Amino acid sequence: MTAETLMEGVMEIPGANAVWLDPVAVLNRGYSLYLVAYSQYYSRAYFGNLNSSASAPSIGDGLAGSEGGTRKRKRKKTYTPNEKEVMAELRHQESRSAILKAHSLFLETRRPLISSKLNLENIPCSRTETPPQISTHSISGTSSTSLSEEAEVDFVRLSELWQAPLYELNILGNSSHSSNKTSCDLRCCEETDTRQTPLFGCIVEHEEEEEVLAECAGCIFVVPSHCRFLISDVSSIHKLIPERPVCGYNLILIDPPWENKSVHRKSLYPTLPNRQLLSLPIQKLVHNEGALLALWLTNREKLHQFVEKELFPAWGVELAASWYWLKVNNSGEMISPLDLQHHKPYECLLLGYLPGEKQEAASKETVQKGAVSEKGNVSLNTPPNKFVIMSIPGDHSRKPPIGSLLSQYAPGPSPVNGLELFARELTPGWTSWGNEPLRFQNLRYFDRRMEDEVGRS
């Protein structure tokens, strides 16, 4: 069985409604001067025994039901699941067969899972248990004399300081094509003429063909080509509303910081009350030919009920398909048993359509003529249902880059005018919004391309 490469970093699994995705390879398609570092993207937690070569597991690996030994176990008391638990199990059973089929066929391909460039020994043991340290070396009106590759900016904490309105993002020019990141890039940041813009509450645009560096609070960030971003809280999201619907977004990707006790307890990132999502002006962001909306969702039944019964109706979204992100380790095994009660090895992505003004007008016209219209008579390439994306997870809650997979199903113009809400990294050609869209743009997550690689890119 051979697998077909759809694009760099994406491999179709024959016989399955699924793909294997290498997140770093996909991300690196959008950069010409830098490379997302494999050793910084991945967490050691998903790489098993680093001293032994990874071998493909048997099809039954990662599944529940194996007793794993002959030790006797205590008889558990009879437990009667509540209504939500019953519904959650029914939902899991609906997805289980598709995930099992995709995973078993994936294992049969016997293909390398990640690039040979990945040095497992360099992968940090953990970067997610300790919140990043805030750097406050640079405030508007002062110059930074010490730029650090290892420091991180906690944008959430920074926005809460009284000095927050004084912070600026300094957009720098491209540095020379050198492979020595420390001696070239950091010196360049101190010597190059800069373009300054307020860090918070202001839309930043970079329309050049190549990525550039930016400096803030003593840290350096890589800003990809043709991107826009806004760092703000929900109160300023109205700044993204286009002046005319023809300038709206036809692909909207949302990864909300859902309320989660575990996340709150570990202080991994601030969460948002679910009901605040109802106030997002989604319909005002839509292109006049409509939009495809993709929403990341955990496996909590309470959230599924909220989205299906309240959130999507409030936004005017018509549910079209459910996709699954199956998380595997470097051996191809699921990161946890498939039927584990509380920690499933997959997350759900709900896809739905939002009508635009052009579609709504077409629908009214066909209704007046007594005809039946589907989605406003606009021809759509409908996304497949129960589609499975397999990849090795990165940092906590960091989702794989799936914009290229989704774009083929978006109505309206191509290439898409994409918008990511609650973003933690930037995408070339997209607009990103959230309180930390530069989180993974820190220079420490990148390597400089060699001169010969720059010439080929």
Could you read off the pLDDT of 284-338 as tens digits, one per residue?
A: 999 999 999 999 999 899 999 999 999 999 999 999 999 999 999 888 899 999 9
CA distances from 30 to 222, 250, 328 (A): 12, 20, 25
**Mean pLDDT of all residues in 221-248:** 94
Contact 7, 404 (CB under 8 A): yes
Domain membership of residue 259 (yes or no) is: yes
The residue that leads in pLDDT, 128 or 72, is: 72
- Give yes or no: residues 435 and 358 share one domain: yes
Domain membership flag for residue 107: no
Start-to-end CA distance of the chain, whole Å, equals 31
Question: Residues 386-425: pLDDT tens digits?
Answer: 999 999 998 777 999 999 999 999 999 999 999 999 999 9
Interval 250-259 mean pLDDT: 94
Q: Are residues 290 and 410 in the same domain?
A: yes
354 domain-assigned = yes
Judge if 204 and 245 occupy the same domain. Answer: no
Provide the mean pLDDT of the chain. Answer: 80
Which residue shows structure tokens 């009660």?
A: 341
Q: Domain range holding 180?
A: 155-223+444-456
Mean pLDDT on 144-152: 59
25-39 burial by CB neighbour count: b if 16+ within 10 A, else e?
A: bbbbebbbbbbbbbb
Instruction: For residue 197, list its beta bridge partners.
Output: 169
Report the C-alpha gap between 218 and 35 in whole angstroms. Answer: 21
Angstrom CA distances, 182 to 108, 132, 152, 187, 402, stand at: 43, 21, 16, 8, 32
94-112 pLDDT, tens digit each: 999 999 999 999 998 866 6
Question: What is the C-alpha separation between 339 and 390, in angstroms, rounded?
Answer: 17
Q: Do 383 and 280 sit in the same domain of this protein? A: yes
- Say yes or no to pLDDT of 116 above 70: no
**428 with 392, same domain?**
yes
- Whether residue 219 is found in the same domain as residue 264: no
Instruction: Output the pLDDT for position 436.
Output: 93
Q: Given pLDDT bands bounded at 50, 70 and 90, which one contains residue 3?
A: low
Residue 201: inside a domain: yes
Residues 245 and 194 in one domain: no
Q: Is residue 288 domain-shared with residue 203, that is, in the same domain?
A: no
384 in any annotated domain: yes
CATH code assigned at 288: 3.40.50
Distance CA 230, CA 236 (A): 9
Closest to 171 (Cα-Cα) out of 191, 194, 192, 190: 194
Tell me the one-letter amino acid at 376: G
**Nearest residue to 447 via CA among 286, 280, 222, 260:** 222
Does a structural domain hold residue 282? yes
275: helix, strand or coil? helix
Mark whether 256 and 310 lie in a shared domain. Answer: yes
109 is a domain residue: no
Residues 205 and 352 in one domain: no
Q: Are strands 219-223 and 212-216 parallel, antiparallel or unpaired?
A: antiparallel
Residue 438 belongs to some domain of the structure: yes
Report, as an integer, the average pLDDT of 425-439: 96
Q: Is the pLDDT of residue 263 over 70?
A: no
* Residue pLDDT, tens place only, 23-56: 999 999 999 999 999 888 987 667 765 444 444 4
**Domain count across the chain:** 2
437 and 452 co-located in one domain: no
Global confidence as pTM: 0.84
Cα–Cα distance for residue pair 48/41, rounded to 1 Å:
16
CB 114 within 8 A of CB 408: no
Q: Radius of gyration (Cα) for the chain, nearest Å? A: 23
Distance CA 289, CA 413 (A): 8
The pLDDT assigned to 246 comes to 92
Instruction: Specify the pLDDT at position 416.
Output: 95
Alpha-carbon distance 416 to 437, whole Å?
20
Residues 268 and 382 both lie in one domain: yes
